[in-house]
Chain A
Amino acid sequence: MMRTARLYLFIKEVCMLSRMDDVEARSIVVFLMIACMTATGCASAYKTVLPRPPDHYQKLGEARGNACGSMMILAPYNFIPVAELPFFGGDLNKRVENAYQNAIDSVPGATALLNVTMQENWFWWVLGSTKCVTITGEAIR
């Protein structure tokens, strides 16, 4: 929020120095802010969900894990992923990683999964939306 305010003041100052009137300066500020927001995004790291099975392994049974993450609507900050808040369900960018880990943890002694099924479900709660990933598979060690 502070950064946005500073950016606004900085751009306005530059526009004033170049002798633009207030309306022109404001239009440029709005345009630049929209351009910045449009360029906002995020990507998670790659997570291995189906490793190459080892030569010898023991099947332990079905594993299941779920993890969620949320995005809020509070414009213009609706692109901020809600991180680590229990009510909102966790980190949006780590939902696959967390779901896989939860699936591994659901079977004691498991080290990997075979025949992995991934499914996403989401729900909208007016101020934002939550995305959840469920991973199921055959636990092995």
Chain B
Amino acid sequence: MGARLDEMRNDHGGGDPMKKTLMQAALLALLAACAGCTGTPVTFKSTDVTYDPTKGRTVSGSACGFQLLLLIPIRINDRYERAYAELLNDAGPGYSVTDINVSERWKYGLVGTAYCTDLKATAYPQRTAVVN
């Protein structure tokens, strides 16, 4: 009876105790690594370049990430950085970006939650210095 139980346990538990220990260690390491994270900081620089305030246009940038099972981050931590890069890309060269607005949204995805950051700003064409 005991041997039969051992057999069943081995069938479900993966057999090799060394393998089991390694799996447990890997799981613990994963949990420890993902128990908390700090995202990449992003700095929105205030423009010190003169620009034409009459020709502003709205630009936007967005980035999402997924938090699997509430603790495994998938592209979560660099969300702000990616959204800002997209915003600057939308503005294009020769434009100053100001009036930056941030919105956060999330969506439940059964095995985790998707988090998105949306940025909206106004881009003004920079005035080029006149050289005589």
Contact residues of A with B, CB < 8 Å?
Answer: 34, 37-38, 40-53, 71, 73, 78-79, 81, 92-93, 95-96, 114-124, 128-129, 131, 138
Complexed CA–CA distance, A49 and B84 (Å): 13
Instruction: State the main secondary structure of chain A at its contact with B.
Output: strand
Q: Would you call B42 and A118 a contact (CB within 8 A)?
A: yes
**Chain A residue nearest in CB terms to B112:** A78
B105 in complex: contacting residue of A42, A52, A120, CB < 8 Å: A42
Given A38-B110, A119-B38, A124-B34, CB of A46 within 8 Å of CB of B46: no
Given A49-B44, A118-B102, 17 other A-B residues pairs in contact with their CB atoms under 8 A? A42-B105, A44-B103, A46-B103, A47-B101, A48-B100, A50-B46, A71-B70, A78-B113, A96-B102, A96-B104, A115-B45, A115-B46, A117-B41, A117-B43, A119-B41, A120-B80, A124-B34
Q: Would you call B105 and A118 a contact (CB within 8 A)?
A: no
Q: Would you call A122 and B46 a contact (CB within 8 A)?
A: no
Chain B residues lying within 8 Å of A53, measured Cβ to Cβ, are 46, 98
Interface residue? B37 (CB, 8 A): yes
Q: Would you call A41 and B107 a contact (CB within 8 A)?
A: yes
- A116 vs chain B, min Cβ distance (A): 5
- A113 vs chain B, min Cβ distance (A): 9
B70 in complex: contacting residue of A48, A92, A96, A124, CB < 8 Å: A124
Chain B residues lying within 8 Å of A50, measured Cβ to Cβ, are 44, 46, 98-100, 121
Given A118-B80, A119-B39, CB of A129 within 8 Å of CB of B104: no
Sorted nearest first, the 6 A-B pairs with minimum C-beta distance are A43-B105, A41-B107, A123-B36, A79-B108, A120-B39, A50-B100
Complexed CA–CA distance, A96 and B119 (Å): 12
Within 8 A of A (CB), among B13-57: 34-46
Q: Would you call B42 and A117 a contact (CB within 8 A)?
A: yes
Which has the most chain A C-beta neighbours within 10 Å: B41, B77, B79? B41
Chain B residues lying within 8 Å of A34, measured Cβ to Cβ, are 110
Chain A residues lying within 8 Å of B105, measured Cβ to Cβ, are 41-44
Which has the most chain B C-beta neighbours within 10 Å: A41, A96, A114, A118? A118
**Chain A residue nearest in CB terms to B56:** A52
A121 in complex: contacting residue of B36, B43, B70, CB < 8 Å: B36
Chain A residues lying within 8 Å of B44, measured Cβ to Cβ, are 49-50, 115-118
Complexed CA–CA distance, A31 and B91 (Å): 43
Interface residue? B67 (CB, 8 A): yes
